Amino acid sequence: MTENTLKCPKCKSKNLRKYGFAIVSGGTKKQRHQCIDCGHVFTDETESITEEQL
């Protein structure tokens, strides 16, 4: 998924910032994003990231 088409899964805003990386199964790094409007944190290929995963 490209950054231009990325939307917050919670509020559908395109107003996002990069928010580090999440390590997923197999040690693969995925870019995390934070919605500037609602504060929701997610990766570009998964649903939201809970506070316990941060």
Domains of the chain: which residue ranges? Answer: 14-53
5-19-40-38 Cα dihedral, nearest 10 degrees: -80
Distance between CA 38 and CA 29 in Å, rounded?
24
Indicate the pLDDT class of residue 37, thresholds 50, 70 and 90: very high
* pLDDT number for residue 52: 47
Q: What is the pLDDT of residues 18-30, one digit of tens each?
A: 999 998 888 889 9
- Residues 6 or more apart whose Cβ sits within 8 Å of residue 38: 8, 10, 11, 13
Distance between CA 52 and CA 29 in Å, rounded?
18
Report field, pTM of the whole predicted structure over 0.85: no
* pLDDT number for residue 46: 57
